[in-house]
Amino acid sequence: MYEVVIGLEIHVELKTKSKLFCTCSTDFGAEPNSQVCPICLGMPGTLPQVNQEAVQLAIRAGGVFGCTIQPLSQFSRKNYMYPDLPKAYQITQYQEPICTDGGIEVLREGKKTMIRLERIHMEEDPGKLMHPDYEHFSLADYNRSGIPLIEIVTKPDLRSPEEAVSFLKALRTQLEFADISDCRMEQGSMRCDANISLREPGNQVLGTKVEIKNINSFKEVQKALEKEIKRQSDLLRFGEGDKIVQETRKWDAGKGRTVPMRSKEDAEDYRYFDDPDLPALILTQGQIQAAQEGIPSETALERRQRFMEEYDLSESEAVTLTEDAVLARLMDQAAGKASSPRKVANWILTEGLRLYRSGQGFRVNARALLALLKEIESGALSHSAAKQVFEYIWEQQGTVADAIETLGLKQMSDSSQLETLVAKIVADNPQAVAEIKSGNGKAFGFLMGAVMKETKGKANPKVAKELIEAELKK
């Protein structure tokens, strides 16, 4: 009924060893206030030192999304007082960001649609505050203070909550692919605020913009936007459109709706000005090129389509494999050298995904996967044995050959050994033999099962089948 207009502001933590302006570690999960120094605590007399790697990652991000990299950008101070901000200003880039323009493609009703970016700029993260329930105090942890971020701002080009989520997934994949960030919303390395407004279809003027904060996962992005759309469209429908005011609302996951944030009497005035402690960030073409080496040459959408065409995958299979940079990379590495990319995909999508969900990374690499497939193809491993090997390597790492050895799974293809065994089993099971001869095919399965059991799954099923048939003929 109403056209939905959505813009996103995404904060992404850059994958650097040290913070943006000091040499403190950026490791996640350390004891509170154990990764701090006079600089990121804003102690009097300290000054910022710009981390080169952070700049390079910001340039990379610009390259990945087709932005214009500005050869001159400037750090500015965003002044406000809050206990998580040690200097009472956040060093950011206001008037002259490092990247402008660019965009990410999504599919809108099957058509490629460009979602344009406004800018990407660098800034430092504030610390973290915690507000324990029922207490009269709050807690501050400054480990996060000074962590390098890029803020990615889209133009209001998104038209639905689903699209917003697709966009975010594409964004995340590309950032992971280019080794810019881990993008874990649950760990806070990727945060998203949304701006949304509604308008009559065909109306060129934007409706009243509402900002939504406190969204902590992709699912919540969709839910929060859907709920906000409902709230606003209900108000519009009942002629209460004037109740939609420009404000910031907090997404309350527990209550399943957005609530107004405490309104301040005067809007905060950030008094932006160029940081006098930091001269301009001036980049040469050489530096820009060097920073962009090795960035993915295709967009997320292009990769998805290539997977469908090159590897003969369905759309949903391609989506699953390309949404995650780890899986996509693995697929490309392995499928290129495999006789059947289809088989590679199957392994990743079934056994691989099952174990991957436990969240410790994908622990079988391309080499191992290819070796495994070779063993299966040559008949050395049965499918069930291969599954055992896969799991073993996942847990213990190491090579396929070692795993087979350790598990004693070398498939029995040696006919003579098997022949003897088959003969024995046939001899031991006259009842089954009789049933087969009288036309009951099921009993064949029973004999096969017995052979597999006797050989602990190591028998080559094809060979075993032939031998049993041959034996039965005797």
Only segment of 111-119, 168-176, 277-285, 448-456 that touches other proteins (CB under 8 A): 277-285
Using CB under 8 A, which of 262, 383, 473, 474 touches other proteins? 262
* Shortest CB 124 distance to other proteins, Å: 14
Using CB under 8 A, which of 6, 8, 10, 55 touches other proteins? 55
Question: Residue 247 and residue 252: Cα distance in Å, rounded?
Answer: 16
Only segment of 39-47, 168-176, 352-360, 461-469 that touches other proteins (CB under 8 A): 39-47
| 8 Å CB contact between 4 and 196 | yes
User: Residue 16: how many CB atoms within 10 A of its CB?
Assistant: 20
Token representation of residue 282: 């001036």
Nearer to other proteins, 15 or 169 (CB): 15
Strands 247-252 and 210-215: parallel
Instruction: List, in order, residues 6 or more apart from 134 with CB less than 8 Å away.
Output: none
Instruction: List, in order, residues 6 or more apart from 145 with CB less than 8 Å away.
Output: 19, 36, 40, 41, 84, 85, 86, 124, 125, 126, 127
Phi, psi values for residue 419, rounded to 5°: -55, -50
Nearer to other proteins, 277 or 298 (CB): 277
Determine, following the binding rule CB under 8 A, whether residue 427 of this chain makes contact with other proteins.
no
Only segment of 12-20, 152-160, 325-333, 334-342 that touches other proteins (CB under 8 A): 12-20
Determine, following the binding rule CB under 8 A, whether residue 276 of this chain makes contact with other proteins.
yes
Using CB under 8 A, which of 53, 310, 351, 391 touches other proteins? 53
Nearer to other proteins, 1 or 267 (CB): 267
* Shortest CB 261 distance to other proteins, Å: 7
Determine, following the binding rule CB under 8 A, whether residue 37 of this chain makes contact with other proteins.
yes
Q: How many residues bind other proteins (CB under 8 A)?
A: 68
Nearer to other proteins, 186 or 269 (CB): 269
Using CB under 8 A, which of 266, 297, 359, 438 touches other proteins? 266
Phi, psi values for residue 34, rounded to 5°: -105, -10
Measured over all CA atoms, what is the biggest interatomic distance in the chain, rounded to whole angstroms?
Answer: 97
* Shortest CB 125 distance to other proteins, Å: 16
* Shortest CB 243 distance to other proteins, Å: 23
DSSP-based three-state secondary structure for 434: helix
Residue type, 51: N
Residue 473, Cα to own-chain centre: how many angstroms?
57
Nearer to other proteins, 179 or 274 (CB): 274
371-387 burial, b at 16+ Cβ within 10 Å, e below that, comes to bbbebbeeebbbeebbb
DSSP-based three-state secondary structure for 153: strand
* Shortest CB 40 distance to other proteins, Å: 10
Question: Residue 209 and residue 244: Cα distance in Å, rounded?
Answer: 9
Phi, psi values for residue 111, rounded to 5°: -105, 145
Residue in 97, 96, 104 with CA at minimum distance from that of residue 64: 104
DSSP-based three-state secondary structure for 148: strand
Residue count of the chain: 474
Token representation of residue 113: 């649609």
- Any idea what DSSP says for residue 363? -
Phi, psi values for residue 43, rounded to 5°: -65, 150
Nearer to other proteins, 60 or 77 (CB): 77
Nearer to other proteins, 142 or 251 (CB): 142
Which 80-109 positions form the footprint of other proteins (CB under 8 A)? 81, 83, 86-89, 95
- Any idea what DSSP says for residue 241? G
Which 278-297 positions form the footprint of other proteins (CB under 8 A)? 278-282
Residue 62, Cα to own-chain centre: how many angstroms?
19
Using CB under 8 A, which of 9, 25, 160, 402 touches other proteins? 25
CA separation, residue 321 to residues 300, 326, 353, 360 (Å): 11, 9, 10, 17
* Shortest CB 231 distance to other proteins, Å: 20
Which 108-167 positions form the footprint of other proteins (CB under 8 A)? 129-131, 135-142
Using CB under 8 A, which of 51, 174, 232, 320 touches other proteins? 51
| 8 Å CB contact between 236 and 228 | no
Nearer to other proteins, 1 or 81 (CB): 81
Per-residue x/- track, 221-260, other proteins (CB under 8 A):
-----------------------------x----------
* Shortest CB 79 distance to other proteins, Å: 5
* Shortest CB 213 distance to other proteins, Å: 11
Would you tell me which residues interact with other proteins (CB under 8 A)?
A: 16-18, 23-25, 31-34, 36-38, 41-55, 72, 74-75, 77, 79, 81, 83, 86-89, 95, 129-131, 135-142, 250, 261-262, 266, 268-269, 271-274, 276-282
